[in-house]
Amino acid sequence: MLSLRTHLTSPSSKGFTLIELLVVIAIIAVLIGLLSSAVQKVRAAAQNSQCKNNLHQIVIATHNYESANGTLPPGGNPHTNVGTLVYLLPYLEQGNLYATIPANVLNGTGYPWWYYTLYSWDPYTTFNTPISTFACPADGQTPQIGTQAYYTTYSAGVFAPYYPSSSFPQFAKLAPTNYCSSAGALGNVGGFYGTWYGPFEEGSGYRLVQIADGTSQTIFFGESLGGTNSGQRDFNVAWGGAGAMPLAWDLIEPCQWYTFGSYYQGCVNFAFGDCSVRSLTKIGPNSDFFSTHWYNLMSAGGMIDGSPVSWNQLE
């Protein structure tokens, strides 16, 4: 009799060893790190592109203002302390907001704008309105202290901010901006620094035809944080009072309240009079007066200095 023997076998299975599992986890971590870095770079590029577009739109609005009014807007009103950007509102689809501002505030025959809470107009309602075109998407930090209500470059060359105080706690709630008009070195002060005065200063009203150096060679607007970008931000600046910023202290890093500056690595974006936008190189923590970089930046800021700009020294 033939005996049949049945052998039941099960397929063998092999699990991951601990070392193999650790290798897989390490590979996944590296891939996640590479992906995160790539995402951050894409996000930064998108933010930079939007920032440049904001500056481009602001200069287009400046040209439209000049076409309608015969002059460029002032780099700040010396009597009511409203800033350059206020005058551009109707040309940036913000006509309704602009219409809330009394005419005597705009033409300089009224009081400084913060006094109007005592009268018929509430400036804090108007100037607390966020405007996306005035904000760089790379700047997401909230200042530790507050918002500068206004600042500007005076014809005497004095750069004067007004910080929040106990008398005006509303200043801390004003909607900020990251863009300021350019006064050139120090504005039209005469003498050495006056060689490079720009198209904006307090009470100015220059025309495009007066820019002898050419609009493509003259800075109109640039990025500003209104405070230092080292650690926690101390201040920003309200778009309602952002006046003309001087270039005389160069593009130091970290930036300060009296300099142009940005959160971008190594550069600050500037819009020129022909509506082009360039990224100019930051320098170290100290102003390098009278260096090659300094002279070229002054030439880019000045509108009648007659000096050509060596872009390879700035970009």
Residue with tokens 């050139």: 184
Domain ranges of the chain: 21-313
Q: Is residue 34 predicted with pLDDT exceeding 50?
A: yes
Section 293-304 average pLDDT: 98
Torsion of the alpha carbons at 131, 136, 138 and 144, rounded to the nearest 10: -70
At residue 274, the pLDDT reads 98
At residue 234, the pLDDT reads 85
At residue 92, the pLDDT reads 98
Section 5-31 average pLDDT: 65
Q: pLDDT for 160-188, tens place per residue?
A: 667 777 777 777 778 999 999 999 999 99
Alpha carbon distances (Å) from 22 to 25, 29, 36, 63, 220: 5, 10, 21, 62, 56
Confidence of residue 5 (pLDDT cuts 50, 70, 90): very low
Q: Is residue 155 predicted with pLDDT exceeding 70?
A: no
Q: Is the pTM of this model over 0.85?
A: yes
What mean pLDDT value characterizes the chain? 88
At residue 120, the pLDDT reads 86
What amino acid is encoded at 301 in this protein? G
Q: Is residue 252 predicted with pLDDT exceeding 50?
A: yes
Section 209-221 average pLDDT: 97
Please give the share of the chain, as a percent, with pLDDT higher than 70.
Answer: 89
